[in-house]
């Protein structure tokens, strides 16, 4: 991630399976850091770093509550990703599911 491009940060955050698992957990409700860390075989500090990445990407928000940090998912960046991918929908939606017809039809589309 060379640039400060926000969408790059979202994709980069989603590129890690641990972070996707954390998001999946948060999709079913808020959780504290320890609760999020529990399923993983890595240190709490590593989880804290993952949460930093998710937070900088805008994918989660943390609120402090006594000694706990409660984390919740923030869906806006996911919506952005969905919008980005949507640009390419026609490539698999219209017509070609077989590789055979794909090349021919793409060629035709060009001319």
By CB under 7 A, name the binding residues for DNA: 1-2, 12, 15-16, 18, 32-35, 41-53, 62, 64, 66-69
CB closer to a copy of itself, 33 vs 80: 80
Among 16, 26, 40, which residue's Cα sits nearest to residue 70? 26
Looking at residues 25 to 64 of the shown chain, list those that interact with a copy of itself (rule: CB under 8 A).
Answer: 27, 29-30
Residue 24 gets the label, from left (phi > 0), alpha (psi -120 to 50) or beta, of alpha
Q: Is 85 in the site for a copy of itself (CB under 8 A)?
A: yes
| C-alpha dihedral sign at 4, 6, 11, 14 | positive
Among 39, 75, 98, 101, binds a copy of itself (CB under 8 A): 75
Q: What angle do CA 64, 18, 74 make, to 5 degrees?
A: 45
Q: Is 104 in the site for a copy of itself (CB under 8 A)?
A: no
Among 15, 38, 39, 48, binds a copy of itself (CB under 8 A): 15
């Amino acid at each position: 991630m060379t640039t400060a491009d926000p969408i790059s940060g979202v994709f980069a955050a989603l590129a890690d399976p641990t972070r996707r698992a954390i998001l999946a957990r948060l999709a079913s409700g808020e959780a504290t850091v320890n609760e999020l860390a529990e399923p993983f075989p890595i240190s709490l500090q590593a989880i804290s770093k993952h949460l930093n990445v998710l937070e900088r990407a805008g994918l989660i928000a943390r609120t402090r509550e006594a000694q706990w940090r409660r984390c919740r998912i923030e869906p806006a960046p996911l919506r952005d990703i969905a919008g980005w991918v949507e640009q390419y929908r026609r490539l698999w939606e219209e017509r070609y599911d077989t590789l055979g017809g794909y090349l021919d039809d793409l060629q035709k589309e060009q001319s």
